[in-house]
Amino acid sequence: MKPLLSLSSLIDRINEWVGRTVYWLILVMVIVSSGNATFRYIFSNSSNAWLEVQWYLFATVFLLCAGYTLLRNEHIRIDVICGRLPRRTQIWIDIVGTIVFLFPMAMLILTLSWPMFMKSFTMMEMSSDAGGLIRWPVKLMIPLGFSLLMLQGASELIKKIAILTGDMADPGDHGHHHHTSADGEAV
């Protein structure tokens, strides 16, 4: 289990670095948006390229930070129901959800997006809007983002299994004091 936990730690560090680096693009997005709005209203001048830069930056943040969001446990979940269940059951729900939903969905999107990116790259596809940008860089964000999400899903799966086997402390328990049954199950 130690080699898998080392791999998990490496994946976590990669997504942590990507997330902390890429989320600075939000500031760039605000600056570009403000500048574009200022030019449009003061000088009655605007550019599709600047609008597309905003769109590209948003897509980059959204896609490349998906793995980071999973790492930080800030993705959408139904805590109203799951939060009332024993911690061990919550971990099993995360394991099943990762295997049954996250991996197939991410693999499907990765599989479908790669040829779309390659076609755009080989054609040097340009935006159809006047003054628009080249499209392949933003299309590359789809397979990159879902690759990072799949890797983080694997990392989370490793950690959940390690918690169940006792090879890792449960950071998600947050020191809650649960009553335990005779077999150690939280109730």
Question: Can you tell me the distance from the alpha carbon of 144 to that of 146, in angstroms, rounded to the nearest whole number?
Answer: 6
Burial of 48 (0-12, 13-18, 19+ CB in 10 A): middle
Tens-digit pLDDT profile for residues 104-150: 999 999 999 999 999 999 999 888 877 778 889 999 999 999 999 99
Closest to 161 measured CA to CA, from 19, 21, 1: 1
Tens-digit pLDDT profile for residues 26-83: 999 899 888 888 888 888 777 778 888 888 999 999 999 999 999 988 777 666 777 7
> How much is the pTM?
0.80
Please say whether the dihedral angle defined by the alpha carbons of residues 139, 142, 145 and 147, taken in this order, is positive or negative. negative
All residues at 6 or more sequence positions from 93 whose CB lies less than 8 Å from its CB, including other chains? 82, 85
Tens-digit pLDDT profile for residues 142-179: 999 999 999 999 999 999 999 888 888 888 765 443 43
Burial of 84 (0-12, 13-18, 19+ CB in 10 A): exposed
